[in-house]
């Protein structure tokens, strides 16, 4: 897939996948607007994959903007920083996007935005790879695409594993979301800076940025900036517009032609993939000394009065964000944090934006009407659509009858839960939902076998 | 919840929260639409009785489906149009002279025995319309092989007064029959319809199979709508063409008339509309190719060496039965598949 000498290559893609309507027109031309923080900011201690962070402030403490308020609770964990200045009023369980109450740090915003003095630019060129990774870790950067995997871990491959490909994920294949698209148009310098920093960490000279061809302006913009770079080479890989092109495994396949071995990590294919805004966040850590305080959130859906792109401070109340869009024009029946394919439906809007909240979608009742499930037609559309080349129909049946052997043999654990199978099913069946429960049972059985 | 216009209870379900536009009824309707050109050709060639017979089949199929669901107190599946499609396909596979009551028996067999006995839509292991055709052929062989002469305008009320003719395949079989005398062969060959007759439908045969061009228009629609892929019909037709070219000639190998075999009989109708039935064919891509080739081999063998002049329905039915087996051996290689480690297999 990689053509020598050219800045823009492709289009590249993977086998399988689906073509949902992209619905991006509502927000793709809307510049990112900085949103004021809420009066009360809430920081759940679990904001990344792995173990929760541990508070390092106490009730009554005054905190500054950018100050660390919780320490990573282990290796796979990330620090949390306050995005406002103010006073810690409580550390108590609060409702979160996952629908359960989680221990959170509550900060009363004094609206002074007083900076923490640790925030100052850093020259990464003078730092060793290890020092760079430490700075990223200190800044609490996690994957902003939604998976919230701590970035410093991606930047420190295990002993003996060599990274050959640095790939930045600008596919943004989820319908409705345009936050990465806007970031590419508005902050290309930060993205390119982040890529250069990553190249330095891995001692490489070539980095790739994959962008779906439904964003020609972003491709043009990034290519323009990429061509200015003399010391390193930044290749823009055009990607076919297809879901789930932004899946880590499928982006690696499209860009490198290699597959991540089953059950292994991208590093086993010699690749590290970071989302656009994550890459920009790495850039910002050094350009401004800024820890991860804000993220871009697309607010869209048929109920939203003014679909928008916001730069939201982490900890801001979701309800406040929706109000800034003019609220709902018709009654919202379903509200989703993230995209429509892999996002999470919430039961309560009184929750904070966390590091992984890429979007807020409000759908009216007509968008989410429940239809009657019919018999499977064996049409094979799920088989054709599965980007992992699995048999979702067979896995679903196996999950329904608790047939762990078949689930295991046919690769249920390889399922990336992209939802393509459920999306395409003409009979309104929900294969993914069953495969999820099947996977959970498999994991439980494996854990029990280990004991 | 303060201020915002939100339903009292938000719907919370697992992702994905959006669905594609495909529906079962939409797919069935597309196939019905795609069969309309073939039906029109049948009406033009064989007269108004074709339409009446088709209506009888469709109405009776839907009625049996509705009644069955009623008796079993199941939600009615009439609305998915699959029963209507089965009725239509059955009609297109019948000679125009078929008595109505026999056609109704065919619908009953298709819907109740083949489809509902096994659990309804999605659960039948044979194509209902084809199985019904086979059932009718066994039960009333005479009626099922009486072919009206094109444009002889069969009476709507009884098919008995029709002028009968032979199908092109039966005629072709005579020309390559080694036991016939040279003059008989020459006579038969002279009577063979031209390619143009085959293409347009000026031949004897079932209602829906006579006009290749009408079938191809419908097939193009289904392919364009992505209701079917070219894998099964492509593999099927290509296999028949190759095998009949190699083995179908009187003058030795590689002298067969492949085009004649492709255009005549039920091959095109079968390949595009029956061998592509989702329920009874493999869902794996590789499996679909194998299915198509298998149908092609069986059809060619029956046509060239079997007792029947035509073998499309039996070929597809036989391959329907082995579909689950084909699926088992054509599981696609998953993304990132690793070779099983030594001793790790099974």
Residue B124 clears pLDDT 50, i.e. is over it: yes
Alpha helices in A288-425 (DSSP H): 318-324, 381-385, 392-400, 404-409, 420-424
- A27, A172: one domain: yes
Does residue A185 lie in a domain region?
yes
By Cβ distance, the residue of B14, B27, B335 closest to A389 is B335
CB contact under 8 A, A375 and B122: yes
Q: Which backbone phi and psi does A170 adopt, to 5 degrees?
A: -110, 25
A55 DSSP β-pair partners: A70
Hey, are the CB atoms on B336 and A260 less than 8 Å from each other? Answer: yes
Residue B340: predicted pLDDT: 58
**pLDDT number for residue B339:** 67
Q: Is the pLDDT of residue B173 over 80?
A: no
Tell if the CB–CB gap between A383 and B283 is shorter than 8 Å.
yes
Whether A268 and A392 map to the same domain: the answer is no
| Residue/partner pairs of B172-175 with CB below 8 Å, 24 or more apart | B172/B257, B172/B260, B172/B261, B172/B264, B172/B309, B173/B303, B173/B309, B175/B250
Along the 451 residues of chain A, how does pLDDT read in single tens digits?
555 567 888 788 999 999 999 999 999 999 999 999 999 999 999 998 889 999 999 999 999 999 999 999 988 999 999 999 999 999 999 999 988 999 999 999 999 999 888 888 999 999 999 999 999 999 999 999 878 899 999 999 988 899 999 999 999 999 999 999 999 999 999 999 999 999 999 999 999 999 999 999 999 999 999 999 988 999 999 999 999 999 999 999 999 999 999 999 999 999 999 999 999 999 999 999 999 999 999 999 999 999 999 999 999 999 999 999 999 999 999 999 999 999 999 999 999 999 999 999 999 998 887 788 999 999 999 999 999 999 999 999 999 999 999 999 999 999 999 999 999 999 999 999 999 999 999 999 999 988 7
- Regarding whether A385 and A267 lie in a shared domain, the answer is no
Contact A359, A23 (CB under 8 A): no
One domain for residues A281 and A417: no
Among A287, A303, A337, which residue terminates a domain?
Answer: A287
Give the residue numbers spanning the domain of A211: 8-31+120-287
Residue B188 above 90 pLDDT? no
Q: Is 50 exceeded by the pLDDT of residue B158?
A: yes
Residue B165 above 80 pLDDT?
no
Is there a contact between B302 and B314 (Cβ–Cβ < 8 Å)? yes
The alpha carbon of residue A376 is apart from the nearest alpha carbon of chain B, in Å, by 6
Question: Nearest CA of chain B to the CA of A195: how many Å?
Answer: 27
CB distance A345–B11 less than 8 Å?
yes
B343: confidence class by pLDDT, cuts 50, 70, 90: very low
Q: Nearest by CB to B23, which of A375, A422, A426?
A: A426
CATH number at residue A257: 3.40.50.11540
Q: At what angle do helices B285-305 and B312-329 cross, to 10 degrees?
A: 150
Partner A contacted by B335 (CB < 8 A): yes
Which one of A265, A287, A309 terminates a domain? A287
Average pLDDT of the residues of chain B: 88
Assembly ipTM: 0.89
* A377, A383, A387: residue with CB nearest B284: A383
Closest C-alpha among B87, B81, B78 to residue B57:
B87
Closest-CA distance, B102 to chain A, in angstroms, reads: 29
pLDDT at residue B160 greater than cutoff 80: no
| B122-146 residues labelled b (16+ CB within 10 A) or e (exposed) | bebebbbbbbbbbbbbeebeebbbb
Judged by a CB distance cut-off of 8 A, whether residue B307 touches chain A is: no
Q: Which of A422, A340, A368 is nearest to A26 (CA)?
A: A340
- Spell out which residues of chain A touch residue B16, defining contact as CB-CB under 8 Å: 340-342, 419, 422-423, 432
What angle is formed at CA A93 by the lines to CA A92 and CA A94, rounded to 5 degrees? 115
Task: Give the integer Cα–Cα distance in Å for A335 and A304.
Answer: 10
> How many domains is chain A built from?
2
Q: What is the pLDDT of residue B171?
A: 73
User: What are the two backbone dihedrals, phi and then psi, of residue A391, each rounded to the nearest 5 degrees?
Assistant: -110, 85
The Cα of A130 is separated from the nearest Cα of chain B by a number of Å equal to: 31
Residue B9 pLDDT grade (very low, low, confident, very high; cuts 50, 70, 90): confident
Query: Is the per-residue pLDDT at B93 higher than 60?
Result: yes
Secondary structure class of A81 (helix, strand, coil): strand
- Taking the Cβ of residue B72 and every Cβ of chain A, the question of whether any pair is shorter than 8 Å is answered with no
How do the domains of chain B map onto residue ranges? Answer: 24-144, 167-329
Strand partners, A40: A108
The confidence band for B293, taking pLDDT boundaries of 50, 70 and 90, is: very high
Considering the domain boundaries, does residue A263 fall inside one?
yes
* pLDDT of res. A366: 86
Quick check: A368 and B11 CB within 8 A?
yes
Transcribe B61-119 into DSSP letters: HHHHHHHHHHHTTPPP-GGGSHHHHHHHHHHHTS-TT--HHHHHHHHHIIIIIIIGGGT
DSSP alpha helix (H) spans, chain B = 24-46, 49-71, 82-92, 100-108, 128-139, 141-144, 168-175, 182-191, 195-200, 212-224, 231-247, 258-263, 267-269, 285-305, 312-329
Q: Say which of B5, B123, B334 has its CB closest to residue A388.
A: B334
d(CA B63, CA A275): 56
- C-beta separation of A276 from A183 below 8 A: yes
Output the pLDDT for position A367: 86
Which residue has 């100052």 as its token pair? A120
Asked whether residue A130 falls in the same domain as residue A262, the answer is yes
Last residue of a domain, which of A287, A317, A341?
A287
pLDDT score at B156: 65
Structure-token pair, residue A337:
């944090």
B2: DSSP letter? -
Question: Higher-confidence residue: A372 or B133?
Answer: B133
Are residues B18 and A175, on separate chains, in Cβ contact within 8 Å? yes
């Amino acid at each position: 897939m990689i053509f020598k000498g050219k800045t823009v290559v492709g289009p590249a893609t993977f086998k399988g996948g689906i073509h949902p309507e992209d619905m991006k027109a509502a927000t793709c031309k809307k510049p990112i607007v900085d949103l004021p923080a809420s009066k009360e900011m809430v920081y759940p201690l679990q904001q990344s994959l792995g173990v929760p962070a541990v508070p390092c402030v106490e009730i009554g403490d005054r905190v500054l903007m950018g100050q660390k308020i919780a320490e990573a609770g282990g290796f796979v964990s990330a620090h949390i920083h306050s995005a406002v200045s103010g006073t810690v009023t409580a550390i108590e369980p609060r409702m979160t996007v996952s629908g359960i109450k989680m221990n959170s740090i509550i900060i009363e915003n004094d609206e002074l935005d007083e900076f923490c003095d640790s925030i100052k630019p850093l020259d990464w060129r003078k730092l060793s790879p290890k020092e760079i990774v430490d700075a990223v870790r200190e800044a609490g950067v996690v994957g902003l695409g939604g998976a919230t995997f701590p970035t410093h871990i991606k930047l420190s491959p295990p002993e003996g594993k060599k990274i050959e490909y640095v790939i930045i994920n600008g596919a943004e294949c989820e319908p409705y979301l345009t936050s990465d698209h806007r970031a590419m148009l508005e902050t290309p310098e930060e993205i390119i800076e982040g890529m250069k920093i990553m190249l330095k960490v891995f001692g490489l000279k070539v980095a790739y940025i994959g962008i779906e061809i439904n964003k020609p302006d972003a491709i043009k913009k990034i290519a323009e900036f990429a061509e200015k770079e003399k010391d390193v080479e930044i290749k823009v890989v055009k990607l076919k517009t297809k879901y789930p092109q932004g899946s880590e495994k499928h982006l690696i396949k499209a860009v490198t032609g290699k597959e991540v071995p089953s059950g292994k990590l991208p590093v086993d294919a010699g690749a590290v993939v970071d989302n656009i805004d994550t890459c920009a966040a790495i850039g910002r850590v050094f350009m401004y000394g800024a820890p991860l305080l804000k993220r871009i959130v697309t607010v869209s859906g048929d109920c939203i009065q003014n679909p928008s792109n916001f730069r939201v401070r982490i900890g801001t109340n979701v309800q406040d964000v929706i109000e800034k869009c003019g609220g709902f024009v018709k009654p919202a029946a379903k509200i989703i944090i993230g995209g429509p394919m892999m996002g999470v439906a919430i039961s309560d809007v009184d929750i904070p934006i966390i590091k992984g909240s890429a979007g807020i979608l409000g759908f009216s009742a007509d968008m989410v009407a429940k239809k009657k499930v019919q018999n499977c037609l064996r049409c094979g559309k799920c088989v054709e659509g599965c980007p992992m080349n699995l048999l979702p129909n067979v896995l679903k049946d196996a999950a329904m009858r608790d047939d762990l052997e078949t689930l295991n043999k046919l690769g249920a654990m390889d399922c990336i839960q992209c939802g393509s199978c459920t999306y395409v099913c003409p009979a309104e069946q929900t294969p993914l939902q069953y495969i999820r429960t099947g996977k959970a049972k498999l994991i439980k059985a494996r854990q029990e076998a280990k004991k | 919840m303060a201020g915002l216009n939100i339903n009292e209870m938000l719907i919370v379900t697992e992702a994905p929260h959006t669905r594609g536009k495909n529906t079962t009824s939409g797919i069935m309707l597309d196939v019905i639409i795609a069969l309309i050109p073939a039906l029109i050709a049948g009406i033009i060639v064989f007269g108004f009785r074709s339409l009446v017979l088709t209506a009888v089949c469709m109405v009776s199929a839907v009625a049996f489906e509705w009644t069955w669901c009623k008796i079993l107190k199941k939600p009615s599946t009439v609305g998915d149009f699959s029963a209507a499609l089965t009725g239509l396909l059955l009609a297109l596979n019948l000679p125009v002279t078929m008595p109505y009551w026999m056609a109704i028996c065919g619908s009953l067999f298709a819907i109740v025995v083949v489809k509902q006995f096994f659990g309804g839509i999605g659960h039948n292991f044979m194509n209902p319309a084809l199985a019904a055709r086979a059932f009718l052929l066994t039960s009333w062989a005479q009626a099922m092989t009486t072919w009206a002469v094109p444009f002889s305008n069969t009476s709507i009320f009884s098919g008995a007064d029709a002028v009968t003719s032979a199908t092109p395949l039966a005629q072709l079989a005579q020309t390559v029959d080694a036991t016939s005398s040279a003059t008989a062969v020459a006579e038969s060959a002279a009577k063979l319809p031209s390619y143009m007759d085959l293409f347009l439908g000026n031949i004897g045969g079932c209602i829906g199979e006579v006009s290749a061009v009408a079938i191809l228009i419908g097939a193009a629609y289904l392919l364009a709508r992505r209701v079917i892929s070219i894998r099964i019909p492509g593999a099927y037709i290509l296999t028949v063409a190759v095998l009949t070219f190699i083995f179908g000639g009187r003058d030795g190998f590689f002298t067969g008339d492949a085009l004649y075999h492709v255009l005549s009989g039920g091959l095109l109708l079968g390949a595009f509309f029956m061998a592509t039935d989702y329920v009874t064919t493999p869902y794996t891509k590789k499996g679909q190719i194998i299915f198509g080739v298998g149908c092609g081999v069986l059809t060619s063998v029956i046509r060239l060496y079997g007792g029947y002049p035509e073998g499309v329905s039996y070929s597809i039915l036989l391959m329907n039965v082995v579909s689950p087996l084909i699926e088992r051996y054509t599981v696609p290689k998953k993304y990132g598949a690793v070779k099983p480690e030594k001793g790790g297999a099974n």
